[in-house]
Amino acid sequence: MAPAGTLPEHVDVLISGAGPTGLALALDLSRRGVRALVLERQDRLSPGTRGSGIQPRTQEVYEDFGVLDAIRASSARYPKIGSWEDGRMINEYVFVESVEPTPSTPYGAMMMVPQWRNLEIQYARLTELGGTVAFGAALESFTQDADGVAARVVRADGSARTVRAAYLVAADGGRSTVRKALGVTMTGESVTPNPMLLADIRLDGLDQRHWHMWESFNATDFVALLPVPLRDYFSLIAGFADPAAEPDTAPDAVRELVAERTHLTLDQVGEVLWSSTFRPNAARADRFRVGRVFLAGDAAHVHSPAGGQGLNTSVQDAYNLGWKLGQVLRHGAPESLLDTYEAERLPVAAGILDLSTRLHRTGDMRRGKELHQIDVGYADGPLASERRTGLADGALRAGNRAPDAPCTTPDGTPRRLFEVFQGPHFTLLAVGDVELPALDGEMIRTCRVGGTAPDLLDAEGHARHAYGEGLFLIRPDGYVAYAADDASGLSDELARYGGALTAPSVR
């Protein structure tokens, strides 16, 4: 923890908010050698289970960040729903559906990790990389000019100082101070006017094998209790039929609510560890960038909790923005590259908001593959450069997520493509006997699968099946930027990102 009193005067990127978005962005920037400072008005990371679902695509992001093993060690699969009535369980059914992993998609199930633990793991990795979070420090106001942003930061003791940064990122939640100061409006609607109560609570009398649910005649008046992985308490979510209700978050009131709506006695309902309320909304900022200021996570879009999309979309905002800031600040990429953050992420946020809102309103209790975010991509975006013709329906295209594939090194050592991609670099991937030019190895690494003098062997054909034959430039966030039959257009492509060919020769 960095005390607010040690705030630097200058950083590359200033991030407001140490939630899942802000920590993911700071982590990504730190591994790129970008000086990032996260401001958090609280004196600690936020408590509470909150958003607990980690979708398969986010698991891939966490693998790249080097935190997936810790996340998995703190996780569990979502249990079956157990429906209760008159003191007995009357039905059970699968809530979160899994799909079998494949060579191209190694993770097929949403994992359950309490959000407080997710934050702890990200924070530990951030500090390992030399990144900094200033707790007890809030961004009060800011100005921006052609060269950067000057932010007034107020400490917990009321003292203040100015921190200057090249860029500012708002990761300060749905009530974002930064977004309001920019005058950016939110377009959306209330998913339902009915309030909801969240809490973490210890209790006796329920097994850990089910997500326990009680519904009254009015389905909005419900209680659900989800066992928290590797812990001795449950995560509570309660709905209220009366839109005018103001749920009481006091511990005794929460305990009484559980006893009233379930078969549990008050003696069985124990300590309330944390509680909060919210009203489900679906809204999206009309802009994700204003000058040198960016909006990410809940500051840019707020979701219904249905479908477990909010946290995942937020982490992937950070994953999209982080490498672009790194290319501009460390590799001399044109500043226009940063415009593609809004161009790519705003349509994604709009589509995912529609999905989570539909699930909330229909009450559909099944959660399947359409929520995994594996199919999210940027094929229609400004960075997708597809140079091949005559592609079959369903073929991999520029802008798509780059698939994984299990291969081996020439000496027989197993090595996945995701291991090749892992890190802050681009990867120029040649599949088959395709010319592979020499490149600056700091920004872009090369890998040949099959063909002459291969780096990897594809004995079972998984890479060829996923990619076809050709040359593929893989972005640092794991999407195909450029796909071609040869390197004839590669020089112009690399210039978009601050890179260049070093020689025309074949490696």
**DSSP string of 225-264?**
EEEPTTSS-EEEEEE-S-TT-----SHHHHHHHHHHHSS-
* Backbone dihedral angles phi then psi of residue 453, each to the nearest 5 degrees: 50, 60
Domains for the chain: give ranges and CATH numbers: 2-75+113-185+283-371 (3.50.50.60), 76-105+193-279 (3.30.9.10), 385-506 (3.40.30.120)
Residue 46: closest CA among 135, 160, 113:
135
Sequence letter at residue 240 = F
pTM score above 0.75: yes
pLDDT at 336: 97
Give the CA count within 13 Å in the CB-facing half-sphere of 371.
28
Q: For 204-263, list the strands marked E by DSSP.
A: 210-215, 222-227, 234-239
* Backbone dihedral angles phi then psi of residue 168, each to the nearest 5 degrees: -120, 135
Tokens representing 64 are 């790249």
How far apart (Å, rounded) are the C-alpha atoms in residues 224 and 222?
7
How far apart (Å, rounded) are the C-alpha atoms in residues 454 and 447?
8
pLDDT at 288: 98
Sequence letter at residue 125 = R
How far apart (Å, rounded) are the C-alpha atoms in residues 203 and 271?
8
* Backbone dihedral angles phi then psi of residue 336, each to the nearest 5 degrees: -60, -20
* CA-based max dimension of the chain: 76
pLDDT at 363: 57
User: 126 CB contacts (<8 Å, ≥6 apart)?
Assistant: 23, 26, 27, 30, 38, 133
446 and 436 in contact (C-beta within 8 Å)? Answer: yes
Location of structure tokens 């060919």: 501
How far apart (Å, rounded) are the C-alpha atoms in residues 384 and 328?
19
How far apart (Å, rounded) are the C-alpha atoms in residues 339 and 382?
9
User: 235 - beta bridge partners?
Assistant: 200, 226
352 and 313 in contact (C-beta within 8 Å)? Answer: yes
How far apart (Å, rounded) are the C-alpha atoms in residues 363 and 357?
10
Region of residue 297 (left: phi > 0; alpha: psi -120 to 50; beta: else): left
pLDDT at 364: 57
Sequence letter at residue 381 = G
How far apart (Å, rounded) are the C-alpha atoms in residues 504 and 144?
43
User: 153 - beta bridge partners?
Assistant: 139, 161
3-state secondary structure of 207: coil
Location of structure tokens 């001795």: 232
Instruction: Classify each residue of 161-193 as buried b or exposed e, where b means 16 or more C-beta atoms within 10 Å of its C-beta.
Output: eebebbbbbbbbbbebbbbebbebebebeebbe
Give the CA count within 13 Å in the CB-facing half-sphere of 284.
19
Chunk the chain into consecutive blocks of 10 residues (it has 507) and report each block's average pLDDT, rounded to whole numbers: 70 98 98 98 94 93 98 95 94 87 95 95 98 97 97 95 98 95 84 85 96 74 92 94 93 97 97 92 92 97 74 95 98 97 94 72 60 90 96 95 98 98 97 88 91 95 97 98 95 91 48
* Backbone dihedral angles phi then psi of residue 177, each to the nearest 5 degrees: -65, -40
- When computed from its CA atoms, the radius of gyration of the chain, rounded to whole angstroms, is 24
Question: What is the tally of helices (H) and strands (E) in the chain?
Answer: 11, 31
Tokens representing 199 are 């809490």
Show the DSSP H helices in 281-413 as ranges: 310-331, 339-362
How far apart (Å, rounded) are the C-alpha atoms in residues 234 and 48?
11
425 and 444 in contact (C-beta within 8 Å)? Answer: yes
How far apart (Å, rounded) are the C-alpha atoms in residues 286 and 175?
15
How far apart (Å, rounded) are the C-alpha atoms in residues 359 and 370?
11
